[in-house]
Amino acid sequence: MARNGKNQLLNLATDAVGPRDFSKSRALQPKAQLLIPGGAHTYAKGDDQYPEQAPAFIARGKGCHVWDLDGNEFIEYGMGLRSVTLGHAFEPVVEAAYRQMRLGANFTRPAKVEVDLAETLLDLIDGADMVKFAKNGSDVTTAAVKLARAYTGRDLIAICGDQPFFSTDDWFIGTTEMDAGIPRAIKQLTVKFHYNDLDSLQKLFDEFPNQLACVVMEAEAAVPPTEGYLAQVKDLCEERGAVLIFDEMITGFRWHLGGAQKFHNVVPHLSTFGKAMGNGFAISALMGKREIMRLGGLDHDRPRVFLLSTTHGTETHALAASLETLRIYREQNVVDFLWKQGERLRALIHQSVAENRLAGFFEVVGRPCNLVFATSDQEGKRSEAFRTLFMQELVRRGVLAPSFVVSFSHADADIDRTADAVNEAHVVYRKALDEGIDKYLDGRPVRPVNRRYN
Ligand SMILES: Cc1ncc(COP(=O)(O)O)c(C=O)c1O
């Protein structure tokens, strides 16, 4: 797929198509497996999530490019599990964090930057009156659940069962295949409803009258809400006395600067943010209505809620990084750029799907600011083997892509280079459909994270 006038740029990520030298990565893998359960500190980054012929460790990144231990360069997507929205080592954010770091990372009393970031965030998220910071998305979402339980005096949690992830904590992981170590008593406290199916939520409220403390969901994941659905969910929560919690870990600062709640014009009672807040620095936030949030504070006479009080929750340089990240979002229309570049990539991939007769076998799904891909085999069944083959062929062409989640650093040249790599990978995909995948897949297929056994 020749594209005009940018051939010099095309060399950025690849010198040639073909197998790369991963010898330094290979040498470190056994040690990582021996020392760290799973070989990585996040399951989504683990060896079982990538083809065998892929970089195992990243040495450094700049913008949307990364270099592995062996010096191979890749255009990357996914970007720190969607946390790096501006780009790796993005200079103004690094500088802001460094300036703050030189003043001290953590004190015996709060730092002013805590109030500065609180004010900035509350200015962006319309319906929220108060905010509390932490380091991980899981922690703030769990805190939202705790607050909802304290506020309502109820125990049960209703989660959207069609959305993949809300927290590393037991109330959520207990609902997955990977529930070893979680007591049955805890698991019984979380129940599931279906997205875009108000009846399924209504049934839960009927089955467990006055028992549901909260409804936890992403306003939107792979599928957009049907007309009026989110507003109806909120109305139902209010009718039945439950707290509506939007998990904005992925949607926050991608769908809209004011979150998916602004994009869809439905304000939840509580919402949680992380990932995009700090361009990769560890920072997350629980936000919401004063009436609920204040239970974690000092000015009420109800039983006190132990709300997100941690040693490192307000590490000052992460807050400074977040302030700078949000300033750049606001001043440089970052969200518009993410949508525009995602759309450019999606259009080119659609073209490649058509050229290679892959309709029904390869699909790009989601909003342009958050594209993922789905792979199917000859029978049209979802296939991890074909996912692996596709990623393997992209790696051979200098693209590391567990998804097609773009950042502010994905320039036109990067998108076009990626589209060329996708087209070539699709040629191999087509041949594998026609001739059998074994001939083309070099190693074992990837596997889902949340499985019961290895
Ligand atoms: C929708 C959603 N909620 C919550 C989390 C948990 O965030 P963290 O990994 O920062 O704890 C994630 C992480 O991937 C997520 O995608």
> What are the pLDDT digits (tens) for 122-168?
999 999 999 999 999 999 999 999 999 999 999 999 999 999 999 99
The pLDDT of residue 16 is 61
Measure the CA–CA gap between 254 and 411, rounded to whole angstroms: 17
pLDDT digits over 272-289, tens only? 999 999 999 999 999 999
pTM of the predicted model over 0.75:
yes
Q: Please, are residues 86 and 279 in contact by the beta-carbon 8 Å criterion?
A: yes
Return d(Cα 83, Cα 8) in angstroms, integer. 30
Give residue 230's identity as a one-letter amino acid code.
L
Indicate the top mutation candidate among 138, 139, 168 to test ligand 1's pocket, ranked by most ligand atoms within 8 A of CB: 138
All residue ranges of the chain with pLDDT < 70 are: 1-16
Q: What confidence score (pLDDT) does residue 2 get?
A: 36
* CA-closest candidate to residue 95, choices 331, 328, 410, 317: 317
| CA quadruple 225, 229, 233, 238: dihedral sign | positive
Strands 65-68 and 73-76: antiparallel
Task: Return the pLDDT at 449.
Answer: 87
Tens of pLDDT along 86-127? Answer: 999 999 999 999 999 999 999 999 999 999 999 999 999 999
Say what the pLDDT of residue 5 is: 35
Around 212, how many Cα atoms within 13 Å sit in the side-chain half-sphere? 29
136 lines ligand 1 (CB under 6 A): yes
- With tokens 């040629």, the residue in question is 427
Distance from Cα 274 to the centre of ligand 1, integer Å: 8
Measured torsion, CA atoms of residues 105, 108, 109, 111, in degrees rounded to the nearest 10: -10
Q: List the strands of the sheet with 65-68, edge to edge.
A: 58-62, 65-68, 73-76, 399-400
Per the structure block, which two tokens stand in for 292? 């609920």
Please state the atom number of ligand 1 nearest to the C-alpha of residue 218. Answer: 1
Give Cβ neighbours of residue 243 (< 8 Å, ≥ 6 apart). Answer: 144, 147, 148, 151, 152, 213, 214, 215, 237, 269, 270, 292
Q: What confidence score (pLDDT) does residue 369 get? A: 97
Nearest atom, ligand 1, residue 83 CA? 10
What's the 218 CA to ligand 1 centre distance in angstroms?
A: 11
Ligand 1 centre to CA of 432 (Å) is 34
Residue 154 Cα to ligand 1 midpoint, Å, equals 24
For residue 78, what pLDDT is reported? 87
Question: Is residue 270 classed as helix, strand or coil in its secondary structure?
Answer: strand
User: Quick one: pLDDT at residue 110?
Assistant: 96
For ligand 1, say whether the CB of 274 is within 6 Å of any of its atoms. Answer: yes
